[in-house]
Amino acid sequence: MQKNDGMNYAPKGKPNPVVGPGEFVIAAVALDHGHIYGMVNGLIEAGATLKWVYDRDRAKAEAFARTYPQVTIAASEEEILADPQVQLVAGAAVTSERCALGLRVMDAGKDYFTDKAPFTTLEQLESARAKVRETRRKYMVYYSERLHVESAVYAGQLIEQGAIGRVLQVTGFGPHRLNATSRPEWFFQKKQYGGILCDIGSHQVEQFLFYAGCKQAEVLHSKVANYSNPEYPELEDFGDATLLGDNGATQYFRVDWFTPDGLGSWGDGRTLILGTAGYIELRKYIDIARDRTGNHVYLVNQEGEYHFHVDGQVGYPFFGELILDCLNRTENAMTQEHAFMAAELCLKAQEMALDVTRSDS
């Protein structure tokens, strides 16, 4: 697992299959972002059978096949979509191309699982909503900073158990290391990556909706900047936003590309969750200057102060739940409404963001 590079961060957990071999067949299409490896790892650990891979760049497909030697490299996307055995297609396309791929997948009668952010425009979101209604297929999203982080999973369990009462406020920090020289060209083109609030901000919005139990929310304020990367004029290296949930809960989050080289992880991701009876802090990927492992959960409530180190202890239930949802047409892993609402809010935050870049800086 590449801990210094967020683009290629692909967690591995313990196998916990919910189906037997061949009972749930998947394919991987469009390998533009390294998150595809984390998506596939999670599905395989939950029992999925990986049959196909396809990318326009055959070298990417061949590299993928070296990691997953059981896979067959398809000659075309159409070959995969025409295979009646394939039940779900996972994809990590260029962000602006994720919706179009999803529409083709759903038209082929298959469920779709895409990397975040799932869209770059509100028009794409509406087309996906319409296609879901038409085909009754799933358009699921890999919001990995909650779904594929054990401390984040455990926090959800604590909240469900009532450990901190009703959630009032969620504060999220999502710093990332830029590693500019290893990034593809599309990463720096705003039309293709969507902007920082659309991109890595999507994780933060999704976590707020989940932890605070919000069905909807509104963006009160947002801003973006390119403070330190003038050589990439379309890159936003900083963004933040404030949201108000339909139940009165609030959120502030900050995302940025300023992780210093001295940090032993690609980002010091943290989440603070305030409740009526306590609070939780997540130190997701590192506990700086103390412990280079991640998945630290700090809880303070009426009973006392607690530290839980849950690395390797909780697992990633989302993937098994998603497989069973696809087979049973249920919505236990994540509702379609939730996946789309998180996408809608990060797009709105991006659209209304004030650019605070100083031209004389």
Q: What is the mean pLDDT of residues 143-167?
A: 98
Which domains does the chain carry?
146-316+348-355 (3.30.360.10)
Summarised one tens digit per residue, pLDDT across range 240-252 is: 999 999 999 999 9
- Rounded CA separation 140/87 (Å): 13
The answer for residues whose C-beta is within 8 angstroms of residue 50's C-beta and 6 or more apart is 26, 27, 28, 40, 43, 44, 68, 70, 71
Percent of the chain with pLDDT over 90: 95
For the sheet with 270-275, list strands across it: 304-309, 296-301, 278-283, 270-275, 167-175, 250-256, 238-245, 217-225, 354-355
Reported as a single tens digit per residue, the pLDDT across 96-148 is: 999 999 999 999 999 999 999 999 999 999 999 999 999 999 999 999 999 99
Reading the block at residue 146, the tokens are 């909650």
Give the tens place of pLDDT for each residue, 178-200: 999 999 999 999 999 999 999 99
More confident residue, 4 or 288: 288
Q: How confident is the model at residue 15 (pLDDT cuts 50, 70, 90)?
A: confident
Task: Report percent pLDDT > 70 for the chain.
Answer: 97
C-alpha to C-alpha distance for 141 and 136, rounded to whole angstroms? 16
* Mean pLDDT of all residues in 40-46: 98
Please give the order of strands across the beta sheet that includes 25-31.
Answer: 72-73, 49-54, 25-31, 86-92, 111-115, 139-142
Residue 1 clears pLDDT 60, i.e. is over it: no
Per-residue model confidence (pLDDT) at position 350: 98
pLDDT value at residue 361: 46
Query: Which one-letter amino acid corresponds to residue 270?
Result: R
- Per residue in 46-91, pLDDT (tens digit) is 999 999 999 999 999 999 999 999 999 999 999 999 999 999 999 9
* pTM (2 d.p.): 0.96
| 263: CB partners within 8 A, 6+ apart | 177, 286, 288
pLDDT band at 3 (very low <50, low <70, confident <90, very high): low
pLDDT score for 12: 80
pLDDT for the residue numbered 312:
95
The answer, yes or no, to whether residue 286 has pLDDT greater than 80, is: yes
Between residues 358 and 292, the one the model is more confident about: 292
CB–CB of 49/22 below 8 Å? yes
- Cα 123 from Cα 129, distance rounded (Å): 10
